[in-house]
Amino acid sequence: MNRENKRRQYEKRYYKTHACEESFTCRNCGRLVVPAGAGSDHRNHCPNCLHSLHVDIEPGDRESDCGGIMEPVSVWVRNKGEWAIIHRCRRCGDMSSNRVLADDNPMKLMSIAMKPLANPPFPLERIEEMTALMGGEGQLPDGYRKQEDGQITGLKFDFDDLEPQKVKDVKCPLCGGDIVVTPFGFGCSNYKKDAEDSCRFIIGQIASVKLKEAQVKELLTTGKTDVIKGFVAKTGMKFDAPLKLTKEGQITFDFPEKPKPQETTLPCPKCQQMLKKSQWQYECDCGFRIFHTVAKVELSEEIMRELFETKKTKAKVTGFTSKAGNVFDACLKREGDEIVFDFDNPGVEESKPWLTNEGEMQPLEQGEDSGQGMVQEEPVSVETEMASMHEQAVEIKSEQHDENILSDEKKALPLHRFSADVFLSGGKK
């Protein structure tokens, strides 16, 4: 169990601040539910049957001990027009509200929304009475039928007489028509469902992201947008990218152009041709590919050549960064076309020219620098240094006015001076 899994298991209210990227099997319909396609970092119900589990008291806290199945019983509309599902626990009766996700079953949502209309809490004759009082004929319109139990059949939505909402100051890039808001996003006002030659320009959901009106305006006026966050690839990986509008009216991602591969002096371990260095890897025309960056460290050509020839490094490579953000050093080894850490290899220690083979310090020549910032100009004997220490100790004692307040620094002074004398005299006491 890694550190993140421990936090997920033991840290309270973990999912209130962290995205839920785990797949699960729905307890109601038995289907596998994956995090991709939700359009949100927090998926709390099955997109197929809209059922959930009673595991939260507050969203994401995971502090409920009930564990019953939460059944969708109704929908409601928030202030900005966003739909939300009302769930009720089958076990304890607790109710909660959860936002609708991008991949929720639209037919299931519509069936839940139509329940109040299909089962009115009053007799239908009351509608006839009210229409008669308001000057109507007091009869249901054609196509509507009332069953014996009082339910209405043949009920349907009629959007033909509704005037679509226009997006101001923008026009269709293909035909110059108005851009209007549609149930699926945005589209040209000249679009006709039954006409094959009508304009087909639409802007729907792109990689699980539904564009906002401001982003659509920016795209149609400038031909591109700023970086938009939250796109989901087919593999489930999230990414951020700007969009651009082509001359043909197609909307694509505006990724930066990849730099051209550079020539190197590294021979391919398979065919001995010279490798080319791309943005992320070394590649060859024979098909050989190997990444040159490991744990945020770009390996030099010297290290890569050593891995190609001996399949491992003698010394440790420094500066690797783990997923948790920790910096560490390690040896490397090559396994086929992959570079992995070789933690079993302790690595060759750095040479220390001021040490003998037996580990003893050796005296330096006059003017020689050990690499540690210490230079010896003239050999000094232990007797000379001990005499100097004695003189300094006598001088310190004579300057003291109160023996009871002898400082710890002065008490430790002879010990520090003695260790320095050992180094200067060649390590022999």
For residue 7, being part of any structural domain is answered with no
For residue 350, being part of any structural domain is answered with no
The pLDDT value recorded for residue 418 is 44
Residue that finishes a domain, picked among 206, 230, 253: 253
Report mean pLDDT in 10-residue bins for the chain, 429 residues: 53 62 82 79 83 83 83 86 88 86 87 78 68 59 56 57 80 91 86 82 89 92 92 83 90 83 89 89 90 89 91 91 89 90 82 51 50 49 58 56 49 45 44
Q: In the chain, what are the helix, strand and coil shares in percent, each to the nearest 5?
A: 20, 25, 55
Q: Give residue 371's domain range.
A: 365-429
249 closest CA partner among 215, 211, 199: 199
The pLDDT value recorded for residue 198 is 87
For residue 111, being part of any structural domain is answered with yes
For residue 229, being part of any structural domain is answered with yes
* Per-residue pLDDT tens over the stretch 163-185: 778 888 899 999 999 999 887 78
Q: What is the pTM of this model?
A: 0.33
The pLDDT value recorded for residue 420 is 41
Q: Are residues 298 and 235 in the same domain?
A: no
3-state SS string for 343-380: CCCCCCCCCCCCECCCCCECCCCCCCECCCCCECCCCC
Q: Are residues 242 and 287 in the same domain?
A: no
The pLDDT value recorded for residue 1 is 47
How far apart CA 69 and CA 29 sit, in angstroms, is 11
For residue 202, being part of any structural domain is answered with yes
How many structural domains is the chain composed of?
4
Q: Are residues 58 and 35 in the same domain?
A: yes
How far apart CA 326 and CA 340 sit, in angstroms, is 17
Measured N-to-C along each axis, helices 408-424 and 382-399 cross at an angle, to the nearest 10 degrees, of 170
Residue that finishes a domain, picked among 225, 253, 281: 253
For residue 289, being part of any structural domain is answered with yes
For residue 134, being part of any structural domain is answered with no
Residue pair 276/301 in contact (Cβ under 8 Å)? The answer is no
Q: Are residues 338 and 392 in the same domain?
A: no
How far apart CA 243 and CA 85 sit, in angstroms, is 32
Question: How far lies 290's CA from each of 170, 307, 314, 353, in Å?
Answer: 48, 11, 20, 37
